[in-house]
Amino acid sequence: MGKAKPEASAPVTGKSVLAAETRRLGRSALLPIALGYGVALCGLAQAWLLARLVAGLLGYPVGGWLDLAGAAALMAAAAGLTALQEIAQSAAGRAARAHLRGVAFGRLLALGPADQRAAGEKATLVVERIEALDGYFSKWMPAAALALAVPCTIILVLLFVDWVSASVLLVMGMLVPIGMAVAGIGAAMASKRQFEALGKLSGRFTDRVRGIPTLVLFNRAGAEADGLARAAEELRARTMKVLRIAFLSSGILELLSAFTLAYLAWRHGALLGNNHPNPVAALWCILLVPAFFQPLRMFSGAYHEAQSARGAATELAPLLAPAPASTGLDLAEVPPRVAVVFSEVVLRYTADRAPALDGLTFSAAAGETLLLAGASGSGKSSALALLLGFRRATGGRVAINGQDVALLKPEELRRISAYIGQKPHIFGGSIFDNIRLAQPEADREAVTAAAQAAQVMQFAADLPQGLDTLVGEGGFGLSGGQAQRVALARAFLRDAPLVLMDEPTASLDPGTEELVLDAIRKLCLGRTAIIATHSAAALRGLPGRVLTLEAGRAAGRRMAGN
Amino acid sequence: MLPAGAWQGIEMIRDLYRVWGLWRARGGWLLIGVAVAVASALSAVALLALAGQGVAQGVALGGGALAILLLRPLMLARPALRWAERMASHEATFRALADTRVWFFRQIAARMPGGLGLTGTGDARGRMVADIEALDGLYLRAVLPALAAASVVAVVALLLGAEPGLAALVAVPLGAALLLPFWLARDASRAANAVAAARGQMNRAALDPLLGLAETLSNQAEHRAAARLAETTAAMHEQERLLARRGAIGGASGFLLGQMAMLGALGWALAHGPGSGLAVLGLFMALAAAETLGLVPRAGTALAAAGAAARRLFALADTQPRVTEPTAPAAMPPGNTLRFEAVGFAWSADRPVFTALDLEWREGERLALLGPSGAGKSSIAAMVLKLAAPQAGRITLGGVDLASLPAESVRARIACLSQDARIFDASIAENLRIAAPEAPDAALWRVLAQVGLDELVRALPEALNTPCGEGGARFSGGQARRIALARALLPATPLLVLDEPTTGLDAETEQAFLETLEVATRGRSVLLITHKLVGVEKPDRVLRLAMGRALPAAG
């Protein structure tokens, strides 16, 4: 595995990731809290006016149209502030997601193939897990701050009015977090399990949807649908376990709220009947009960959002940790010619498997074409991975123009080479865009010339939109051979001094293979080329030295064409 | 005129009605959820109304009122009901959503058996997972709050009925708050559609570079990929911002309407002078109703999001299948000779593959079909397996038109190794058993030996239970291909189609496999589709595809 080195000195947890992002947000995280507090103050004032009005209705000489007008004005102010608060808090959520998504994605690209998780799993991290963080910033943070600030304000104000009511609220308010903490411990543990289930289901679903053609051919689509149903059922069972506890915490809240209301109604109802000294204050206390519990209710509602966000953050933490300073040197300029030397190179992916390269030694002079032959699993692809900076050698030395490649940053190393893999990926977009991937500044002429050189035009000319024909994810509409030629065109456009190829002609018919070999010969001209291949035609048809690998080391040498 | 928004609204209602159709099997759970939600909302109103009434009665009677006594059981019932409401509604939603997921998978398998093609799997995944999750908004955040709030408004109007003026002042704003989502949904639907579309784009911008990680990195495209993701994220966030603004305005409007009901009750009381117990009741009921109704305007946003999700799900699920099942299927013929008779075929109208193809694959024959890429070799395999149907001419199996035979029966008789055969993220054994679920371990080892993988698998610590990783990532390309090949050899079908079986295999393994092919497939009809023969296949007959015709080739 490529994650041998510890990422950072301090352990990075989901919690610290969220805290760091909160600090980064700064003022935009505080704005929704301030606006929410303003709404609460409006409510506090309005409740007093309402209390006066109700007291008036009960026969006391207070309250009038002026109070009603004041209440209406406060209503309008509160409505405006509510809208602004909601807008501000969703903006905070977006700002956090945009930033964190960029960081996580950048990290995944930097890790490259060394992170062996499947592409779908990585995409889930960047898409769904980041989305799951939204609730923390857009809901939980303002809710948590207001759940503390607003009830405290209400208690403080009521202390001057009726200390008994204030004390009842204080006790009840303090019972809320205790109740939620008790429920929350179970919820946190269950939440982790739920995330595992969700990830498993999502991954399994993608995998099976991609394989629908295979499942259909074996009449297994129905059975697989049943399997998905079972997985969904398992997810439901797990999620309900989380929710049972999460909802219990809000049940506790309802119970406390109902009890408080009933107690205050009983207390003040009785007092009012016996000539209450301050009827407005009594009614104010009752009217403030919903206002007191409202922020706590919001907090409780956002509580499991925070739980899911923490779960997601824990999964994301390794990606969101401050990146280790990119070790290695920059490349001053791409050298015009490249010589490659492997000396006693060892590459071990995991401790329990035999090393992929086990003392591989060879050299390729500048301008030379070297053909790596050997059975699958003999280490051909691993040798290329080292030259691409996807892996670092476990032992020995890989040198380019005499310089150890381990000294260069991986991305700098890749500036030297062009690469064509076993199954080249075709990105969603036009064929033209797919070729221009290699050189974004290239003009139409250069791209067309590369397409010509790689024999792409041979099939693209027959397509309805030529080079501008759209090809989907995975290369819809392009056969393996056509995709290979698009990749070859990329290499032409890239014009790098080192060409690395992994089985470039494996899926081509003899006619096309000849065309492509022709193009490869042209590509290799004046460049250093290292080509892993087991195709007899390629070994015959490409000029250059053949080096056969066996169990990660050189087996023997012979000249091509013999 | 009928504005575009209204038309969209009608379409949305139609889509949502279809969703209800999918969920009908869970009707019991869904109704329980509604019943508990209504009871819970009414208990909240009763609690506050009784508290208010208690105070008023306290004034009137001098303490100790009946209303206060009634508060006690409610105090306990209210939290219990609230908890039950949320449990029941979530149970119902999860059950219904699992059904939707599976239904959608079945639809795609039935209608797009050749795969999702241009739509892109990243997008389909985004649709399936995010859209189906958005559908939970339909029940949890739209239907339930709306019904609960409607019951509250009805009860408020009923209780205040003795004073029609007061009832109107309280119930009319509350009723307006109730209708608000329907007015908002039309508008929000467009915004939600835009968010979903932007999210699909973002999803693709994330997945595509990760799928082509080696290409992205080797072309130094990582910064461009990151910029593209940031760009699509920003586009999605812009749409989300518009949606959030709509939601905020909706929320504020709901708040205002609830408050207006409350102030209306007070205004009515001021105008009628003191001593009106009913006005106090009205005030407290409006206060209680505001809590329930506060959720309703957001239901509009939820409704719109669910509508957009439903539209996208159904658009994909309604794709016309390439091959329709016969309405009156014929009996499977005993014979296994496949014959193409003047078959015309094209994947799209402007690119004909065959105009009049004649071809015979006789029972028990090992037929090699040669041709350059693009000559239509895989199209023949697709038609044989009923993934595609000829537009002209006909194909017969044992003399019976293939079009009149059910696809499942045809595929049960013909095993196929396709070019895009997928290795699933499951164990080796599970992957092999996709072809024959009942196969014993011995059979698995036999086919693994035939493709020369038995030694490698035996050496793995978990042997047959070794996970293959997504797309067979745990193994090299050649090894993964051989697992797929072993899978195709596993079922004892009389016919076997091998489409480029040795792609990605090194020369030695290829040679070794093709030499054993004769033994491995003895007694079965084999169609070997390949771009070149290496010389050891020993086919009974060789046909070369060129210019849309199959011509005998010199062996």
The domains of chain A are located at 14-320, 340-559
Q: Residues of A with CB below 8 A from B351's CB?
A: 462, 464
Q: Please indicate if any CB of chain B lies within 8 Å of the CB of A98.
A: yes
> Mean pLDDT, to the nearest integer, of B384-394?
84
**A25 Cβ neighbours under 8 A, 6+ residues apart:** A92, A95, A96, A137
Q: Assess contact for B356 and B394: CB atoms under 8 A.
A: no
Task: Compute the distance between CA of residue B369 and CA of residue B550 in angstroms, rounded to an integer.
Answer: 8
Bigger pLDDT: A3 or A349? A349
Q: What is the pLDDT of residue A80?
A: 95
> Mean pLDDT, to the nearest integer, of B335-349?
83
Nearest CA in chain A to B290: A290
Interface test with B, best of A74, A180, A217, A470 (most B CBs within 10 A): A217
Cβ count near B523 (within 10 Å):
7
Task: Compute the distance between CA of residue B33 and CA of residue A448 in angstroms, rounded to an integer.
Answer: 62
Helices and strands in chain B: count of H runs, count of E runs = 18, 10
> Mean pLDDT, to the nearest integer, of B96-110?
81
Q: Assess contact for A334 and A497: CB atoms under 8 A.
A: yes
Q: What is the pLDDT of residue A531?
A: 92
> Mean pLDDT, to the nearest integer, of B256-283?
81
Of B48, B55, B218, the CB nearest to A414: B218
- Tell me the nearest-neighbour CA distance from A76 into chain B, angstroms: 7
Any idea what DSSP says for residue B525? E
Of B230, B275, B287, the CB nearest to A59: B275
Interface of A with B in 263-282 (CB under 8 A): 264-266, 268-270, 272-274, 282
Q: What is the pLDDT of residue A10?
A: 55
Of B371, B422, B477, the CB nearest to A214: B422
Nearest CA in chain A to B125: A206
- Tell me the nearest-neighbour CA distance from B69 into chain A, angstroms: 9
Average pLDDT over all residues of chain B: 80
Bridge partner residues of B394 (DSSP) = B341
Largest CA distance in chain A: 116
Q: What is the 3-state secondary structure (H, E, C) of A140-183?
A: HHHHHHHHHHHHHHHHHHHHCCCHHHHHHHHHHHHHHHHHHHHH
Q: What is the pLDDT of residue B80?
A: 87
Of B217, B245, B259, the CB nearest to A87: B245
Confidence of residue A561 (pLDDT cuts 50, 70, 90): very low
Q: At what angle do helices B4-23 and B66-111 cross, to 10 degrees?
A: 90
**Domain extent listing, chain B:** 25-317, 338-552
Picking from A342, A377, A393, the residue whose alpha carbon sits closest to that of residue A550 is: A377
Share of chain B above pLDDT 70, in %: 87
The two structure tokens encoding residue A58: 């009960």
- Flag whether pLDDT at A173 surpasses 50: yes
Tell me the residue length of chain A.
562
Average pLDDT over all residues of chain A: 83
Picking from B293, B387, B384, the residue whose alpha carbon sits closest to that of residue B343 is: B384
- Flag whether pLDDT at B295 surpasses 80: no
Q: What is the pLDDT of residue A103?
A: 93
How far are the Cα atoms of A91, A126, A142, A506 from residue B241, in angstroms, in the given order? 7, 20, 18, 49
Q: What is the pLDDT of residue B7?
A: 67
Query: Could you tell me how far CA A225 lies from the centroid of its own chain?
Result: 28
Q: Assess contact for A401 and A339: CB atoms under 8 A.
A: yes
Bridge partner residues of B40 (DSSP) = none
Q: Residues of A with CB below 8 A from B118's CB?
A: 470, 472, 476-477
CB burial of B225-238 (b: ≥16 within 10 Å; e: otherwise) equals bbebbbebbebbbe
Q: At what angle do helices A510-524 and A480-494 cross, to 10 degrees?
A: 10
Strand pairing report for B366-370 and B525-530? parallel
- Tell me the nearest-neighbour CA distance from B36 into chain A, angstroms: 14
Per CATH, the homologous superfamily of domain B338-552 is: P-loop containing nucleotide triphosphate hydrolases (3.40.50.300)
Task: Compute the distance between CA of residue B128 and CA of residue B140 in angstroms, rounded to an integer.
Answer: 19
Say which amino acid occupies A104: A
Q: Residues of B with CB below 8 A from A375's CB?
A: 506, 508-509
Interface test with B, best of A473, A493, A494, A514 (most B CBs within 10 A): A473
Residue with tokens 């593209």: B228
H or E segment to which residue B237 belongs: helix B222-272
Q: Please indicate if any CB of chain B lies within 8 Å of the CB of A175.
A: no
Interface test with A, best of B90, B202, B255, B266 (most A CBs within 10 A): B266
Of A213, A240, A250, the CB nearest to B82: A250
Q: Between chains, do A259 and B291 touch, taking CB under 8 Å as contact? A: no
* Most confidently modeled range among A23-32, B274-283, B367-376: A23-32
Q: Between chains, do B506 and A250 touch, taking CB under 8 Å as contact? A: no
Q: Between chains, do A206 and B68 touch, taking CB under 8 Å as contact? A: no
Confidence of residue A37 (pLDDT cuts 50, 70, 90): very high
**B545 Cβ neighbours under 8 A, 6+ residues apart:** B369, B370, B371, B375, B376, B377, B380
Confidence of residue A490 (pLDDT cuts 50, 70, 90): very high
Of B50, B215, B241, the CB nearest to A425: B215
Bigger pLDDT: B98 or B63? B98
- Tell me the nearest-neighbour CA distance from A187 into chain B, angstroms: 15
Confidence of residue B163 (pLDDT cuts 50, 70, 90): confident
Q: Residues of B with CB below 8 A from A472's CB?
A: 117-120
Q: What is the pLDDT of residue B241?
A: 93
* Most confidently modeled range among A110-119, A151-160, A194-203, B182-191: A151-160
H or E segment to which residue B530 belongs: strand B525-530
> Mean pLDDT, to the nearest integer, of B381-403?
85
Nearest CA in chain B to A93: B237
- Tell me the nearest-neighbour CA distance from B444 into chain A, angstroms: 16
**B119 Cβ neighbours under 8 A, 6+ residues apart:** A472, B316
Q: Between chains, do A79 and B255 touch, taking CB under 8 Å as contact? A: yes
> Mean pLDDT, to the nearest integer, of A340-361?
86
Q: Assess contact for A532 and A383: CB atoms under 8 A.
A: yes
Lowest mean pLDDT among A380-389, B181-190, B410-419: B181-190
Q: Please indicate if any CB of chain B lies within 8 Å of the CB of A243.
A: yes
> Mean pLDDT, to the nearest integer, of A280-307?
83
- Tell me the nearest-neighbour CA distance from A348 into chain B, angstroms: 15
* 3-state SS, residue B352: strand
> Mean pLDDT, to the nearest integer, of B463-484?
78
Q: Can you name the CATH fold of A340-559?
A: Rossmann fold (3.40.50)
Q: What is the pLDDT of residue A4?
A: 39
Q: Please indicate if any CB of chain B lies within 8 Å of the CB of A38.
A: no
- Tell me the nearest-neighbour CA distance from B86 into chain A, angstroms: 7
How far are the Cα atoms of A2, A414, B431 from residue A116, in angstroms, in the given order? 8, 20, 20
Q: What is the pLDDT of residue A447?
A: 92
Task: Compute the distance between CA of residue B23 and CA of residue B141 in angstroms, rounded to an integer.
Answer: 16
Q: What is the pLDDT of residue A41?
A: 95
Picking from A42, A17, A102, the residue whose alpha carbon sits closest to that of residue A321 is: A17
- Flag whether pLDDT at B356 surpasses 70: yes
- Flag whether pLDDT at B152 surpasses 70: yes
Instruction: For chains A and B, count residue pairs whose Cβ atoms are closer than 8 Å.
Output: 463
Q: What is the pLDDT of residue B200?
A: 82
> Mean pLDDT, to the nearest integer, of B462-473?
80
Q: Please indicate if any CB of chain B lies within 8 Å of the CB of A97.
A: yes
> Mean pLDDT, to the nearest integer, of A518-531?
89
Lowest mean pLDDT among A153-157, A173-177, B412-416: A173-177
Q: Assess contact for A386 and A405: CB atoms under 8 A.
A: yes
Interface of A with B in 447-486 (CB under 8 A): 459, 462, 464, 470, 472-474, 476-477, 479-482
Residue with tokens 């204080």: A170
Bridge partner residues of A499 (DSSP) = A418, A529
Confidence of residue B129 (pLDDT cuts 50, 70, 90): low
Confidence of residue B550 (pLDDT cuts 50, 70, 90): confident
- Flag whether pLDDT at A310 surpasses 70: yes
Of B55, B212, B434, the CB nearest to A427: B212
The two structure tokens encoding residue A166: 């204030």
Strand pairing report for B392-397 and B338-346? antiparallel
- Flag whether pLDDT at A456 surpasses 60: yes
Picking from A128, A139, A101, the residue whose alpha carbon sits closest to that of residue B131 is: A128
Interface test with B, best of A53, A209, A296 (most B CBs within 10 A): A209
Q: Residues of B with CB below 8 A from A248's CB?
A: 83
Nearest CA in chain A to B235: A98
Q: What is the 3-state secondary structure (H, E, C) of B423-462?
A: CCCCEHHHHHHCCCCCCCHHHHHHHHHHCCCHHHHHHCCC
Give the end-to-end CA distance of chain A in Å, rounded to a whole number: 39
> Mean pLDDT, to the nearest integer, of B324-334?
82
- Flag whether pLDDT at A1 surpasses 50: no
Q: Can you name the CATH fold of B25-317?
A: ABC transporter transmembrane region fold (1.20.1560)
Bigger pLDDT: A138 or B190? A138
Q: What is the pLDDT of residue A560?
A: 42
Nearest CA in chain B to A217: B411
> Mean pLDDT, to the nearest integer, of A349-371?
86
- Tell me the nearest-neighbour CA distance from B9 into chain A, angstroms: 25
- Flag whether pLDDT at B105 surpasses 70: yes
Confidence of residue B555 (pLDDT cuts 50, 70, 90): very low
Q: Between chains, do A214 and B434 touch, taking CB under 8 Å as contact? A: yes
The two structure tokens encoding residue B319: 């794709």
Q: Residues of B with CB below 8 A from A480's CB?
A: 373, 419, 503
Q: Please indicate if any CB of chain B lies within 8 Å of the CB of A525.
A: no
* 3-state SS, residue A528: strand
Residue with tokens 């009974």: B540
Bigger pLDDT: B349 or A78? A78
- Tell me the nearest-neighbour CA distance from B416 into chain A, angstroms: 7
Torsion of CA A27, A98, A319, B121, to 10 degrees: 160
What is A14-320's CATH number? Answer: 1.20.1560.10
Say which amino acid occupies B260: M
Q: Between chains, do A479 and B82 touch, taking CB under 8 Å as contact? A: no
- Flag whether pLDDT at B228 surpasses 90: yes
Task: Compute the distance between CA of residue B47 and CA of residue A293 in angstroms, rounded to an integer.
Answer: 15
Q: What is the pLDDT of residue A250?
A: 63
Task: Compute the distance between CA of residue B232 and CA of residue B234 in angstroms, rounded to an integer.
Answer: 5
Confidence of residue A215 (pLDDT cuts 50, 70, 90): confident
